[in-house]
Amino acid sequence: MSNISFDNTEVAFKHKSNAELKRAKWLFSMFNHRWAVKYGPPLTSLALKLRLPIKGMVRSTIFDQFCGGENIQECGDAADMLHKRGVGSILDYSVEGVEEESTFDQNVEEIKQTIYAAKTEDKYPFAVFKCTGIGRFDIFHKASEGRLNEAEREEFDRIVKRVEDICQTAVDQGVRLLIDAEETWIQDSIDDLVLMMMQKHNTSAVWVYNTLQMYRTDRLAYLDNTIDLARKAGFKMGYKLVRGAYMEKERERALDNDYDSPIQPDKPATDENFDAGLRMCFEHRDIIATCLGTHNENSSRLLTELMSEENVPSNDPHFWFAQLFGMSDNISFNLAQAGYNVAKYLPYGPIQAVLPYLGRRAEENSSVSGQVGREMSLIIEELKRRKVWNSN
């Protein structure tokens, strides 16, 4: 049995100074205030547009907590720190909200730059992208419902070519590629596209990974079906398992449009579904490579136990753990110290452009039951261990 512990705060926060820990404590405490989470990001965006002198404050607080820098080069220091402690970085270009063809093409080139960085630096074990960063949300929606007109079909074909370009670049460079999941009403077209890329590129090794949001009620059945398909067609699959990022939006849309919610009814059901998906991926590890994208200690421990029971080495390249930069350091660094493959999503982009991402991190920390409390308790425990809890 695995004896991994996630309670060692000395290991978790070795990379942070006393001042950085206190700043993190203050930041997480702000997430307990709903008004700050609701109004902070839009007010910050407005202030930046008005050129008010707040960029330095944003940079030194929430941006530095959750982002690596404004460009790939600026991410180097954070990535080097993580790498020295046995944790890889996944460069994540987190610019959102622009839906122009020229911008989509620019985003493809930026994503390819992250792939080239991963080729030359072993501190970057994966590359990643989001399909709505290279194509319009509405086109994925219409494609998922099979109602594209001729002009929209041509637009979707351009998206397909962008995805093919990114995937081919990753394979040519020998870099594993994660493709993020999105809202249910656009995910079918993304699933079909990623499955096509896996079938094309994952013949002898796993390069392309899809993402399964396990708070969805249909994901176990989808996973089971794709396993059958892969065995029959003779290709391998990569899956990143996450719980899910759009719960409130999904439930509200289902209610507004009078259809059954696609989301599990509560957290215990989601946890059960997630762990069942993990077990299924582990059982079929001969054809599935798994990236466990979670901040949940129990699910992380479960994978270490499954690996231990079946004598799978902790550094087996088919199994990775991933967390977001700035969160759950107790999971990331304790796993890394125990010899497991661990990576942090390292978002980057101009401060103004990544505010939507930072807003979601604030919302996530305020809405996920116990997340802020756990982060705060660990930080406080470490400050007490360092005997600086009451110092200025």
How do residues 46-96 score in pLDDT, each as one tens digit?
A: 666 767 776 777 777 788 988 999 999 999 999 999 999 999 999 999 887
CATH of the domain at 339: 3.20.20.220
Q: In the chain, where do the E strands start and end?
A: 88-93, 126-129, 176-179, 208-213, 237-242, 288-293, 319-324, 342-348
247 lies in a domain? yes
> Between 53 and 110, where is the model more confident?
110
Q: Tally the domains of the chain.
A: 1
Range 269-290 average pLDDT: 98
* Rg of the chain taking only CA atoms, in angstroms: 21
pLDDT for residue 99: 84
Q: How many CB atoms lie within 10 A of CB 267?
A: 15
Angle, CA of 80, 82 and 88, to the nearest 5°: 95
Kindly report, residue by residue over 180-194, the tens digit of the pLDDT: 999 999 999 999 999
Residues 350-366 pLDDT 10s: 888 887 777 766 666 55
For 235, how many CA atoms within 13 A lie in the half-sphere containing its CB?
20
In a domain? residue 16: no
Show the domain range for 144. 69-354
83 domain-assigned: yes
13-53 per-position pLDDT tens digit? 999 999 999 998 888 887 776 656 565 666 676 666 767 77
Could you tell me which of 299, 183, 314, 301 has the C-alpha nearest to residue 241? Answer: 299
**Domain for residue 168, yes or no?**
yes
Residue 370 predicted with pLDDT over 70: no
Identify whether the C-beta of residue 164 lies closer than 8 Å to the C-beta of residue 201.
no
Average pLDDT, the chain: 91
Higher local confidence (pLDDT), 155 or 362: 155
Determine the pLDDT at residue 248: 85
In a domain, 9, yes or no: no
Does 391 have pLDDT greater than 90?
A: no
Asked whether residue 2 is assigned to any structural domain, the reply reads no
Flag whether 103 is in a domain: yes
CA distance 263 to 282: 24
Q: Kindly list the distances between the CA atom of residue 150 and the CA atoms of 104, 143, 191, 227, 284, in Å, as whole numbers in the listed order.
A: 20, 12, 22, 33, 40
Q: Cα–Cα distance between 349 and 126 in angstroms, integer?
A: 18
Helix, strand, coil abundance in the chain, percent, nearest 5: 60, 10, 30
CB-CB contact of 238 with 198 (8 Å): yes
Question: Exposed, middle or buried, 172 (CB in 10 Å: 0-12/13-18/19+)?
Answer: exposed
- Of 376 and 10, the structure prediction assigns the larger pLDDT to 10
Q: How far is CA 346 from CA 11, 124, 149, 191, in A?
A: 20, 10, 38, 24
Residue 324 β-bridge partners: 345
Choose the weakest-confidence range: 33-37, 129-133, 238-242, 339-343: 33-37
**pLDDT, position 340:** 98
